[in-house]
Chains A and B, each alone.
Chain A
């Protein structure tokens, strides 16, 4: 065979092999939400008030509350002379300003957003005819408290208000000033700097996705005004999208996504960012963490909140699992509740259970499960990802904590809840399981009971209670009312759990942890470990409202031996909320402060501390 023929055959074979490879290879995927990388803020990184632009804006809001009925006017550099006349006219027009106060007459923060020659499409047919004969301007104002846009059409020459429309729950195009503030916040956000590896500059940024007129908000709180400045990197064909909340003046989330028209999401929402981040990184896998001699893993469960697993201290096994499986919420019903004649009813659309107590009064409430934001039975969802922070005492770092925030989406509105699961680990080997409740719930008579499940990993464990000056060993499964205890070992410890070599004192919270707590008032259960008794996700456990039951009683029915066994501790604090002014506890309220709505939090904090026996 000739050399040329051999080459020809080789070209044909290689060529058709390459064509076949190309034909059967996958098309390069187009835009997919799965390609996006998310950046969520850390706690304490949301104060931008020291930035010059933000500081000046906050000062102008205060001034507007005194001088211009709460409306921050547009700067003269942003508008032409006619628009300045219109602004002057509107800032003294009673009709235009009639929505700037709440029912109590308190001023609400408003911004004048745009003033420009009227656009025909914005005019009614009657006004359209008038504006063909005279010069008309349209002005848009936004009320940050009520999330309402006001549009005014003004006859400039005759200084006459021709048309006034209010658009509730709608948001306008923003002013140049707010656009600039959004950019400044994005440029100075620590999360963005970390992502880019440097301080970005203004030229990197565009505002292509600044909100369109009268669309929904991308914020978690859809009543907030949010925009999305973007850092584009054409060489890498990707962009970093930042969501800036202009109501709270902070960055709420950011994401990396591709460039181009098809990759511009018409709505990027903070909630969808969080859901995916939490599902993929915390619901579907465990996260390992080591610090201060502690090594542990944590994950978000389907309905049992944040779980700490396999914790060791300096190589010694400490915890198999610690989690808060449920929050029982019970309310004392007002007179006449029993006339409902049913064991079930509804409060704000949620099914509730009624229970008659010993005093013949009624309790009603729910069992709130906390868990993964998707594919779970949870009702109170994780907000942001688990956060790890230092514990500092007297200026000295003494340990760290892992915290997961859970919220109903509309918290702090009535019948919406916020819980925090917090696990504290100290350098001296002690640790604390903490439940935090930040209201708000449905009423002032709420009794909250977080059900904590703590499975230590000491091996061949024995459990003791301190009474009559001695440590009394529990030989079988039983429970105890911490709230009734009269004496504590060293005035701190009521229980201890240990094996032959080491163990832990258990220090119930009686308000000694300097966190304004009013104590645990807990019930403690010690049970023998059994598969199916909370080692996997527990659905809601027991009744919300039977105050003589915590739900764990079913696990001590057989009173099995627990001496030298794998013991599981169930610790159920009970907390009475308080909504009295000046005494708020387990409560949250939204108040109008300096023209803007501010959430006031009054957390209640419970949970026992485990201290190594020296």
Chain B
């Protein structure tokens, strides 16, 4: 009895350390499991947007359907395609002034916000053009620089700058991404949240290379979806009270590591349509005229089992 009492402090110390060790192992593992679990984005469906086509198209009596063509295959800059098989076009020479465009966002008045892109050959103005957001006036059709983000600096080591834009109908703002700062070693892309009326940057989220952007409202809240320029994955950032909560969450990953999500569309109930291109921060990605470099996927969110079903079509 005496000897047990004598060693009691040692036994108690061993017990305390053992309990502490077991607790920390359990906590750390459960944290890891939590991190690896597929994020539940909630159920969602296609919602009616607030955007409309530019007024000048109606004045020109251009019949619907109308497609906005930024493919740079037949028209430099911007063109509106219409008619049977979209074989007719509205295109002004002045729309070629800022070279090539990457993505666009329409607002409720029919104004278009455009982001630039470099395309095959580099000329003396190529890098300068990559820092601007461009504006096509709904009434006049005039194309101008809407906002210059002077901190965006495209270079020969990464010729891309401002690359994607989406209009937020809830608060008349733009979500814009730029990827100029990124290098092979590190993604230093930035998401800007910009108030249209004041042109003020409301928020700046660093460390995300978004090649494409889209907004999604689900039963769990509002999310900014982002096609990752560095990996073949779709990311999401929750938006609360007009602010993006940092730390993007991975939603899904596509099978081919060379494919990067270039377009995101909410097509139906728990259904996303994704278009990918091979993207490596060089100018080669845009050279295929046949479009066979582009792949199309359907991503179906199966909320019951928390799983994204991905179909190539």
* Residues of chain A whose beta carbon lies under 8 Å from any beta carbon of chain B: 4-5, 7-9, 11-12, 15-16, 18-19, 22-23, 27, 33, 216, 265-267, 269, 271-272, 275, 279-280, 283-284, 302-303, 344, 346, 348-351, 366-367, 369, 371-381, 408-410, 537, 539-540
Contacts and interface: CB of A to CB of B under 8 A. Distances in A.
Nearest to A28: B32
Nearest to A350: B120
10 contacts: A15-B13, A15-B14, A19-B21, A269-B258, A283-B184, A348-B287, A375-B280, A377-B156, A379-B284, A410-B288
Given A9-B13, A302-B156, A267 B257 contact: yes
Given A8-B12, A19-B21, A375-B183, A351 B72 contact: yes
Interface residues of B, number: 47
Interface in B104-130: 118-122
A16 B17 CA distance: 7
B282 A374 contact: yes
B70 interface: no
Contacts of B284: 378-381, 408-409
Contact of B20 (A19, A27, A216, A378): A19
Interface string B287-313: 111100000000000000000000010
Contacts of B20: 15-16, 19
Contacts of B283: 369, 377-379
A11 B76 contact: no
B257 A33 contact: yes
Contacts of A351: 72, 76, 119-121
Contact of B258 (A11, A271, A378): A271
Given A269-B257, A375-B183, A376-B156, 7 more contacts: A7-B13, A8-B12, A15-B13, A19-B17, A367-B121, A369-B122, A374-B282
B154 to A, nearest CB: 10
B10 A377 contact: no
B310 to A, nearest CB: 10
For A33, A280, A374, the residue with the greatest tally of chain B CB atoms inside 10 Å of its CB is A374
B7 interface: yes
A266 B255 contact: yes
Contacts of B290: 349
A595 to B, nearest CB: 25
Interface string B175-205: 0000000111000000000000000000000
Interface string B160-171: 000000000000
A374 B281 contact: yes
A12 B119 CA distance: 64
Given A19-B21, A374-B282, A8 B10 contact: yes
A11 B10 CA distance: 8
Contacts of B257: 33, 265, 267, 269, 272
B54 interface: no
Nearest to B96: A344
A297 B72 CA distance: 40
A15 B312 CA distance: 53
B6 interface: yes
A373 B256 contact: no
Q: What are the nearest 7 A-B pairs in CB distance?
A: A349-B289, A15-B17, A8-B9, A8-B13, A266-B255, A11-B13, A374-B280
A162 B73 CA distance: 43
Contacts of B158: 375
B258 A272 contact: yes
Contacts of A18: 21
Contacts of B6: 4
Contacts of B12: 8
A4 B256 contact: no
A19 B26 CA distance: 12
For B10, B25, B76, the residue with the greatest tally of chain A CB atoms inside 10 Å of its CB is B10
B16 interface: yes
Contacts of A369: 122, 283
A10 B5 CA distance: 18
Nearest to A381: B284
Nearest to B154: A377
A580 B284 CA distance: 30
A537 B156 contact: yes
A331 to B, nearest CB: 15
B256 A11 contact: no
B288 A279 contact: no
B179 to A, nearest CB: 10
B32 A27 contact: yes
Contacts of B119: 351
B32 A11 contact: no
Nearest to B185: A284
B139 interface: no
A346 B17 contact: no
For B24, B28, B258, B284, the residue with the greatest tally of chain A CB atoms inside 10 Å of its CB is B284
B24 A23 contact: yes
B28 to A, nearest CB: 7
Contacts of B32: 27
A4 B28 contact: no
A279 B185 CA distance: 10
A88 B252 CA distance: 46
A275 B10 contact: no
B256 A349 contact: no
B196 to A, nearest CB: 32
A387 B121 CA distance: 28
Contact of B255 (A267, A537, A539): A267
Nearest to A269: B258
B157 interface: yes
Contact of A374 (B16, B120, B184): B184
B159 interface: yes
A379 to B, nearest CB: 5
B219 interface: no
Nearest to A25: B28
A366 B157 contact: no
Contacts of B87: none
B121 A373 contact: no
Contacts of B256: 216, 266-267, 269
Interface in B23-65: 24-25, 28, 32
For A266, A344, A375, A409, the residue with the greatest tally of chain B CB atoms inside 10 Å of its CB is A375
A614 to B, nearest CB: 42
Contacts of A377: 118, 122, 156, 159, 282-283
Nearest to B18: A15
A304 B157 CA distance: 12
Contacts of A371: 282
Nearest to A416: B287
A284 B183 CA distance: 11
For B12, B122, B287, B290, the residue with the greatest tally of chain A CB atoms inside 10 Å of its CB is B287
